[in-house]
Amino acid sequence: MRCLFTASLAAAGIAGTLAHRVGDGPVRHRKSLGFGPVHKHAYYRSSPYQVVTNAFTRRSDDADPFEVARSFIEDILGNQLSESSSYKIRKDSYTDKATGITHVYVRQIINGLEVSDGDMNINIKDGMVLSYGNSFFTGPAPSHFMQQSLDDDIRHPHQEFCDGLTDEIELNYNSFLATQPDQVVMGDSAPTPKVDKALKHLTHVHHSNCRFQQLPTDMAVQTAERDIDLRSALLQFMVAATPNDHVVNDILGNFEHYLSKMVEYMQGNHFAPSDEPAYVMVDNVPDAVNPVKATLAYHQVPGKDDSVHLSLVWKFEVEMQDNWYEAAVSAIAPHRIVSVVDWASDAPVPIPEPEKTATYNVFAFGINDPEEGKRTIEKESFDSLASPVGWHSLPYANDPSFRGVKLTTKEFYRNTTTTWGNNVFAQENWEGQNAYVSNYRPDAGPGKAFDYPYKPKETDKGDALEEAQKYINATVAQLFYTTNIIHDLYYRYGFDEVSGNFQQYNFGRGGEGNDAVIANAQDGSGYNNANFMTPPDGQNGRMRMYLWNTALPYRDGDFEAGIVIHELSHGLSTRLTGGPLNSGCLPFGESGGMGEGWGDFLATTIRSTANYSDYAMGSWAANRVQGIRNYPYSLNETINPSTYKTLDKPGYFGVHAVGEVWAQMLWVVSQGLIEKHGFTDTLFPPAPNADGTVPEGDFYRPKSGKKPLVPKHGNSLSVQLVLNAMKLQPCRPGFFEARDAIILADQQLTGGENFCTLWKGFSSKGLGPDANVVLRTPWGGGVRTDDFEVPLACDSY
Ligand SMILES: *[C@@H]1O[C@H](CO)[C@@H](O)[C@H](O)[C@H]1NC(C)=O
Ligand SMILES: *[C@@H]1O[C@H](CO)[C@@H](O)[C@H](O)[C@H]1NC(C)=O
Ligand SMILES: *[C@@H]1O[C@H](CO)[C@@H](O)[C@H](O)[C@H]1NC(C)=O
Ligand SMILES: *[C@@H]1O[C@H](CO)[C@@H](O)[C@H](O)[C@H]1NC(C)=O
């Protein structure tokens, strides 16, 4: 679960008790599993020099990038390739229209099965490999997948993860006690916030991931007779994943019953070869809200001597009420859970010329929250490249409210007068459930004037929820407006159909459709937070915005643009990193942390103005001037002292704390670009010409030849580099890979003119060329060294 605020205790703690005291009804306790082995052998090469040594023949500029990729892969893999060991180029690979870079995603195949964490991403332009990442398994292929047994040499990744966490908690607890006078143990005085936060976070991670029951061995053995039994492996996962104790007890007490109730049926292409491996669907899975998709695969697991082994696993995609998991569970009993990623995060038809008729009474784009400005009447200012049919139109065929309904109309597009369109379905969700189609949303009628009152009164706590519900029309309209604008903005910077954006219909431009954002306002499943679930391209993203009971009247997260932008940016970074069909590339540790950081950075950049200012995240909703992070984003090192090494501190094990360090680095780097290139008041590129070409306006530099358009100003250039780099970086990047991808993105876009500006920014935060980390833990720990130097070439800079 990617949340804005899960692990930060201050508000979460206060709010938890408040919520109960005022009788707002039960708030569900959310749990999120997430762990997996560290891939020590994975690497990313972004320096062309190293790539050139691998490039064996001269290539012409117009070579087919997929042919280039194939020769490159085959050169890297060399004699590793055999009948049983191969690869496939994934179908979500694409060529970026703006940069001309082809992003090729590759999956390793052994004995006909995918290695679910054997990934390559190869970035190619003009016949040259610009950079690539590789986490392929390098050992010998097992002779046949059925022969695999539980090997004593293979470590138990889950057990190790939990043992490591337990040690870490103990260590933290002891050092915490050592700094505290006796009365702390009695609970009389507040512990120092940092250590307290670390301990609480680690304990929370431990509780979610480690405190579940292993299926009794005799149960597992019975079912192991079915060789690579799917259902008991799945039940083992459900026992671990369900937040409901009664479900756990019921499964353990009625194991055979649950096993016999689950129904398996084959899906996939049985007759003709297809890109997708055949998979099994499993129905009647306890606590899953939809049938579970299961595929047999390999997963890489570290051995005792640090070597890497292959483990035969069932890969499950499990959609639950509050989580959406991709899990790998050992296929051989007793079933061990090898890795878990929670996807949740705390023929073209002529396009009609739509009229921009809708209006909304909202806090306009750029106003972060109600303290920063007043509501005004804003037009449906959709971007005609990003939203060709506007915000209130979608094909009948892609409209979930017509699913299973026989259509009588001959029209292709349906026009709506509600907050329901091709990019976003916005509605209330007071029940906090997963259904959304028939939830309430405002209907503004044919005039489409979404003008609703927002005048919350201060009430007793007991009436605060009801008071907030009175302005549901206004808050849903706001959420619809902000989400659509962000859809259009990110589109213009390259988050389009082929790269995995969120749209019901893709206008024949590639990528998978039927995945608009389901945006729930005032979601009843929580308070004082927000979250976004990102399944792979072709399945709807789900954003849940909460009320904040941090003040009276309650504050509504839907009105704080920074929170909405942060959440939508999870969808962006997850779909762009490692390819649109791989949602497991920002799972935890540094990569999970950066998943949070990009959201903070983009939200802060969007609200910033020509006059520099520091900004804190979430101040309004949380009702705290300093916001919900440890520090505001600032150029002043007294105000924000974060450096790379800050990540070693015990308070920094959670993804949000890691993310704030990354966002601070990006903030400093972007200010360097602004100093050099100036500032544009609008991040929106000019509207396209009638023929679809984009004019330069004052936004882009004068166009030169076939080169991609380059944003002229520092703030727009930063956003462009950050998005381009997400596409270049490997699956499961760390800070180094993400930094290198930004530097490569600049090399590609501007010819590297900002090389030293970028390095200067990163180095000032300790992320210089010789920064280093050893003893990494999966939850983000490690021992880091800051490097404040810049590369030699920039010495005199
Ligand atoms: C929807 O609106 C467009 C113009 O925006 C129009 O061309 C089209 O006919 C409308 N569709 C329906 C079903 O009314
Ligand atoms: C929302 O707006 C509709 C008109 O579109 C109105 O009938 C309804 O009463 C409003 N709801 C609230 C809670 O004000
Ligand atoms: C920036 O500051 C200048 C001078 O203090 C002021 O005139 C201008 O309105 C400010 N601009 C913004 C966008 O706040
Ligand atoms: C940085 O912030 C501190 C604390 O607010 C302040 O005392 C100092 O003057 C600031 N430094 C600069 C260069 O603005």
> For residue 356, what pLDDT is reported?
74
Which CATH number characterizes residue 406's domain?
3.10.170.10
Residues 300, 396 within the same domain = no
Binned average pLDDT, 10 residues per bin, the chain of 797 residues: 34 23 42 76 73 48 87 88 90 92 95 91 92 90 58 60 79 64 37 58 74 60 54 87 85 86 72 61 89 90 78 89 86 79 64 79 97 96 92 94 83 94 98 94 96 97 97 98 98 97 94 96 93 94 95 97 97 97 91 95 98 96 92 97 93 84 98 98 92 90 87 98 98 96 96 97 98 84 94 84
Q: Which of 364, 424, 346 is nearest to 390 (CA)?
A: 424
For 253, the enclosing helix (H) or strand (E) is: helix 245-253
Task: For residue 664, tell me if it sits in a domain.
Answer: yes
Atom 1 of ligand 1, nearest CA residue: 415
The pLDDT of residue 266 is: 74
Distance between first and last Cα of the chain: 43
**322 near 243, Cβ under 8 Å?**
yes
Of 515, 543, 560, which residue sits at a domain end?
A: 560
In a domain, 647, yes or no: yes
124 and 219 both lie in a single domain: no
Q: How far, in Å, CA of 738 to CA of 760, rounded?
A: 16
For atom 10 of ligand 4, the residue with the nearest CA is: 636
HSE of 245, CA atoms in CB hemisphere, 13 A: 2
Among 141, 172, 188, give the residue marking a domain's end: 141
Closest CA to 159 of 285, 330, 298: 330
Distance (Å) from CA 186 to ligand 3 centroid:
53
413 lines ligand 1 (CB under 6 A): yes
- Check if 696 is active-site: no
The three-state secondary structure class of 166 is helix
Number of domains in the chain: 4
Pocket, ligand 4, Cβ cutoff 6 A: 636, 638-639
| Together in a domain, 231 and 335 | yes
3-state secondary structure of 298: strand
CATH of the domain at 55: 3.10.450
Is 346 one of the annotated binding-site residues? Answer: yes
Query: Own/partner pairs for 437-446, CB < 8 Å, 24+ apart?
Result: 437/400, 437/401, 438/401, 439/520, 440/472, 441/476, 442/418, 442/472, 442/473, 442/476, 442/477, 443/417, 443/418, 444/358, 444/417, 444/418, 445/417, 446/417
The closest ligand to the CA of 382 turns out to be 1
Q: Is 206 annotated as belonging to a binding site? A: no
Which residue in the block uniquely carries the two structure tokens 């720990």? 781
Sign of torsion over alpha carbons 506, 512, 515, 517: negative
Q: Is residue 289 part of a domain?
A: yes
pLDDT at residue 705, rounded to an integer = 79
Question: Do 682 and 779 belong to one domain?
Answer: yes
Beta strands in 198-248 (DSSP E): none
User: Is the CB of residue 355 below 6 angstroms from any atom belonging to ligand 2?
Assistant: no
Tell me the sheet residues that pair with 108: 87
Please say whether the beta carbons of 567 and 600 come within 8 A: no
Contact 646, 615 (CB under 8 A): no
CA pair distance 603, 625, nearest whole angstrom: 17
Q: Under 8 Å CB-to-CB from 316, ≥6 apart: which residues?
A: 234, 237, 292, 293, 294, 325, 326, 327, 328, 329
79 lines ligand 3 (CB under 6 A): no
Regarding whether 391 and 334 lie in a shared domain, the answer is no
Q: Is 22 within the bounds of a domain? A: no
Closest CA to 75 of 94, 51, 95, 105: 51
Residue from 353, 412, 413 to probe ligand 1 pocket by mutation (most atoms less than 8 Å from CB): 413
Q: Which of 295, 296, 276, 301 is nearest to 137 (CA)?
A: 301
20 is annotated as contributing to ligand binding: no
Residue 422's nearest CA partner among 352, 356, 498, 514 is: 514
372 Cβ inside 6 Å of ligand 3: no
Which one-letter amino acid corresponds to residue 525? S
Q: Half-sphere exposure of residue 402, counting CA atoms within 13 Å on the CB side?
A: 17
Asked if residue 304 and residue 387 are part of one domain, the reply reads: no
DSSP state of 396: G
SS3 326: strand
Atom of ligand 3 at shortest range from CA of 681: 13
Quick check: CB of 472 below 6 Å from ligand 2? yes
Our answer on whether the CB atom of 610 is closer than 6 Å to any ligand 3 atom is yes
> Is the beta carbon of 466 within 6 A of some atom in ligand 2?
no
CB 594 within 8 A of CB 586: yes
**Ligand 3 atom nearest to 611, measured from its CA:** 1
Please identify which of the residues 380, 567, 660, 737 carries the catalytic annotation.
567
596 marked among binding-site residues:
yes
d(CA 626, CA 619): 6
* Residue 146 Cα to ligand 3 middle (Å): 70
Q: Would the CB of 473 count as within 6 Å of ligand 2?
A: yes
Ligand 1 centroid to Cα of residue 393, in Å, is 8
Indicate whether 506 and 393 sit together in one domain: yes
| 185 inside domain | no
Residue 711 shares a structural domain with residue 747: yes
Task: State in Å: Cα 613 to ligand 3 middle.
Answer: 11
How far apart CA 301 and CA 280 sit, in angstroms, is 24
* C-alpha of residue 611 to centroid of ligand 3, in Å: 6
Q: How far apart are CA 591 and CA 584, in angstroms?
A: 10
**Cα–Cα distance, 302 to 299 (Å, whole number):** 10
Answer yes or no: do 532 and 597 share one domain: no
Domain contains 575: no
Structural domain includes residue 159: no
| Residue among 611, 612, 681, 683 to mutate when testing ligand 3 (max atoms within 8 A of CB) | 611
CA of 280 to the centre of ligand 1 (A): 41
The full DSSP string for 451-466 is -----PPP--HHHHHH
Same-domain pairing of 659 and 779? yes
CA angle 301, 305, 307 (to 5 degrees): 45
Domain that holds residue 323: 212-343
Q: Are 325 and 34 in contact (CB under 8 A)?
A: no
For 519-584, the DSSP string reads EEET-TT-BS-EEEE-PSTTS-EEEEE-EE-SSSSPEEGGG-HHHHHHHHHHHHHHHHSS-TT---
pTM for this entry: 0.83
Q: Whose CA is nearest to atom 7 of ligand 4?
A: 638
- Retrieve residue 643's tokens: 């450096």
Is residue 443 in contact with ligand 2, taking CB distance under 6 Å?
Answer: yes
641 C-alpha vs ligand 3 centroid, how far in Å? 28
Please state the separation of Cα 235 from the chain's center in Å.
27
Residue 110: beta bridge partners? Answer: 85, 113
531 & 599 share domain = no
Nearest to 580 by CA among 539, 519, 544, 531: 539
Asked whether residue 598 falls in the same domain as residue 647, the answer is yes
Q: Which of 309, 343, 377 is the last residue of a domain?
A: 343
| Least distant ligand from the CA of 366 | 3
Q: Is ligand 1 within 6 A of the CB of residue 382?
A: no
Residue 458 lies in a domain: yes
